[in-house]
Amino acid sequence: MTDDTASLDVQLIVFEDVHLEVVRYADGWDSGTYQEKAGVVQLSPLDLKKLDIKNGSHVTLTTHGGNIVVKAKSEKRCAEGVAWLPASLYSNYLAVYDPSVSKTVMPKVTKASISPTQEDVTPIPQIIPGVDDA
Amino acid sequence: MSSQKLVCTGCGCLCDDINAEVGAHGLTGIENACTKGVAYLSAAFNEDRRTASLIRGEKCLPTEAINEARSLLAKAERPLIFGLDCSTCEAQQQAINLARKRQATIDDASSSSYGSLIQSILSGGLPTCAFSEVKDNADLLVYWGSDAPNTHPRHLSKYTYYAYTDFDKAGWYPKVVLGCIDIRNSELCAMSNMAIKLRPGQDGDFMRAVLDDTHSVSEDANKFRERMKKSRFCVFFCGLGLVHSLGSDLSPLPQMMEALGQSTRIALMPMISEINLRGFTQKLYEDTGYVNQVSFAGGVLHSSDYSLHEQLRNNTADCVILIDSDPYRLLPHQLMRNLRNTRVIYLGPFKTPVASLADVVIATAIPGIEQGGSVLRMDGIEIDLLSVRETRYPTQQDVLAQLMDAA
């Protein structure tokens, strides 16, 4: 899924975004607008530079839970080595629950790696097994 | 068209000052709700957002869906009831009765969020207070691991900071200090008088540093301790950021509150998002002594093994009844794969990821819009919900009552 040109290890912080909740209620969790709003990871401008990508480029976000393709957005408030992802079906897809490591079921902070890609943003039905063939 | 006063059931704030204009085809106007509340209420009045009753994806009559659910439940040996955090207290009681009768396991979203905090509050281990005590009385408000403008958009304006009527001499700022402790430079941090940024997972260490006033090398901990000492009444609004950072060891929190509480009154309130998570946890606690993760198979048993996440991880339950709750929005998706190995019955009003996968979907009425009932707000105060429009959907309480006679 990755182009393997460059890769960056980050702390992925999941945050609540009221605008995303509004879209979920207004258009539904399976809508294009929800996917567009949820599939955005915010990074420091310096980290965008390290990855040699522009604001709005697509990146593969990988954790022990899996990987997805999302858009990268430059955010000055992000520190270097930290990425922000809104709480959504995407963040839950990447979340990992391993009671031998931590009893926290839905950690707010996860280790992740980011690499540039030319692929499209992962469609929501692809991360919910059965929805596309239900 | 008619004007209706209603309680917004869009989040745990349960704002009770909403005016809605209801026309023949839905909502035509709304006053006082926040952006999230408007979106939620608009969806609640939009038939396109509603799920139909379904059996394995095929539309059916509600009675047919209930009969199929009754049949699945009758065959189940290890049923699990989960959710209920957006249900009325009356439906919650019915679900607990059903769990008891069927010797089932029962759990809710508090297992992966505020369960431990609420258990401590209900058992008297952590002091709490009502919103009515906060306004104009508390002189220090600390949002810890919580970005209220995004999770509860009217929290500050209706209940806390902006609700104060007592202002400083210039008449501009409320006579209260707004504090924020977070790992992000959130919107709330930017507007706070005292913003402390922690590294991820360092909340417990920060609390220990606050307690250690002789050796602390943390400037922020010293600043926080001194500010606490000046306060007469401080309220901590604890978000999921704090809960998840502390993990299974909450002990630094009560230790810090007890030590700082020598010189000031301190209360704590969990920033619950669901409209009645507090109601479910309190009801189950009154019934069993535990707020979640209870099995009625052979008495009252409590263990993390009875949580939805452990039941899914271990493939324990053979029939899962989800009541107005979607695990896809609550849990890591790695666990959801195991939901395929069990029968799933979903009761709820809206189209959700799990509704599209369940064996049986029973479409139900929306509390606060199509049915009345009571709920407990995040501060433990009971709020009465109203019914503002006729509906063809049964209530969750009625459906659960009909499942009681599953053999």
b/e code B285-310 from CB counts within 10 Å (16+ = b): bebbebbbbbbbeeeeeeeeebbbbb
Average pLDDT score over residue span A50-65: 96
* Among candidates A17, A106, A128 on the partner chain, residue whose Cβ is nearest the Cβ of B244: A106
Q: What is the pLDDT of residue A103?
A: 82
* CB-based contact, A126 to chain B, within 8 Å: no
Q: Which residues of B touch A66 (CB under 8 A)?
A: 333-334
Q: What is the pLDDT of residue B173?
A: 80
* CB-based contact, B335 to chain A, within 8 Å: yes
Share of chain B above pLDDT 70, in %: 99
* CB-based contact, B314 to chain A, within 8 Å: no
| Pairwise CA distance, residues B384 & B376, whole Å | 9
Tracing tokens 């408007």 back to the chain, one arrives at B38
pLDDT higher than 70, residue A1: no
* CB-based contact, A26 to chain B, within 8 Å: yes
Structural contact between residues B292 and B99, judged by C-beta atoms closer than 8 angstroms: no
Q: pTM above 0.80?
A: yes
Assess: ipTM above 0.95: no
- CA dihedral of residues B36, B41, B46, B50 (deg, nearest 10): 90
Angle at B196 between CA B35 and CA B258, to 5 degrees: 100
| Pairwise CA distance, residues A112 & A116, whole Å | 14
Give the model confidence (pLDDT) of B225-235 as tens digits. Answer: 999 999 999 99
Give the model confidence (pLDDT) of B182-195 as tens digits. Answer: 999 999 999 999 99
Q: Which of A17, A18, A64, A111 to probe by mutation at the B interface, max B CB count within 10 Å?
A: A18
* Among candidates B39, B149, B244 on the partner chain, residue whose Cβ is nearest the Cβ of A104: B244
- Please state which of the ranges A61-75, B366-380, B393-407 shows the lowest mean pLDDT: B393-407
Give the model confidence (pLDDT) of B285-325 as tens digits. Answer: 999 999 999 999 989 999 999 999 999 999 999 999 999 99
Q: Which of B51, B334, B339 to probe by mutation at the A interface, max A CB count within 10 Å?
A: B334
- Tell me the C-alpha to C-alpha distance, in Å, between residue B399 and each of A51, B176, B241, B346, B365: 54, 47, 36, 11, 10
Q: Which residues of A touch B334 (CB under 8 A)?
A: 65-66, 95-97
Q: What is the pLDDT of residue B224?
A: 95
Average pLDDT score over residue span B247-262: 92
Give the model confidence (pLDDT) of B95-140 as tens digits. Answer: 999 999 999 999 999 999 999 999 999 999 999 999 999 999 999 9
Q: What is the pLDDT of residue A2?
A: 46
* CB-based contact, B186 to chain A, within 8 Å: yes
CB spacing of A130 vs B357 below 8 angstroms: yes
Q: What is the pLDDT of residue A107?
A: 83
Give the model confidence (pLDDT) of B30-71 as tens digits. Answer: 999 999 999 999 999 999 999 999 999 999 999 999 999 999
Question: How large is the C-alpha radius of gyration of chain B?
Answer: 22
Average pLDDT, chain B: 94
Per-residue pLDDT band at A108 (split at 50, 70, 90): confident
Q: What is the pLDDT of residue B356?
A: 82
Q: What is the pLDDT of residue A130?
A: 58
Q: What is the pLDDT of residue B215?
A: 65
DSSP A77-103: TSPTTEEEEESSHHHHHH----TTT-S
Tracing tokens 């924020």 back to the chain, one arrives at B180
- CA dihedral of residues B258, B261, B266, B269 (deg, nearest 10): -10
pLDDT higher than 90, residue B23: no
pLDDT higher than 70, residue A134: no
Q: What is the pLDDT of residue A132?
A: 47
Work out the burial of residue A76: count CB atoms within 10 Å of its CB; fewer than 13 is exposed, 13-18 middle, 19 or more buried: exposed
Per-residue pLDDT band at A131 (split at 50, 70, 90): low
Q: What is the pLDDT of residue B172?
A: 74
Neighbour count for residue B124 (Cβ, 10 Å): 8
Average pLDDT score over residue span B384-405: 94
* Among candidates A16, A25, A129 on the partner chain, residue whose Cβ is nearest the Cβ of B40: A25
Q: Which of the pair, A122 or B340, is modelled with greater confidence?
A: A122
| Pairwise CA distance, residues B68 & A56, whole Å | 48
Q: What is the DSSP letter of B156?
A: I
| Pairwise CA distance, residues B208 & B259, whole Å | 11
pLDDT higher than 50, residue A114: yes
DSSP A13-24: EEE--HHHHHHH
- Torsions phi, psi for B183 (to 5 deg): -95, -10
Of A123-132, B13-22, B212-221, which one has max mean pLDDT?
B13-22
Size of interface A-B (CB pairs under 8 A): 126
For residue B300, the Cα-to-chain-centroid distance in whole angstroms is 24
Q: What is the pLDDT of residue B405?
A: 83
Average pLDDT score over residue span B338-347: 94
Average pLDDT score over residue span B251-255: 95
CB spacing of B147 vs A15 below 8 angstroms: yes
Q: What is the pLDDT of residue A104?
A: 85
CA–CA min distance B257, chain A (Å): 23
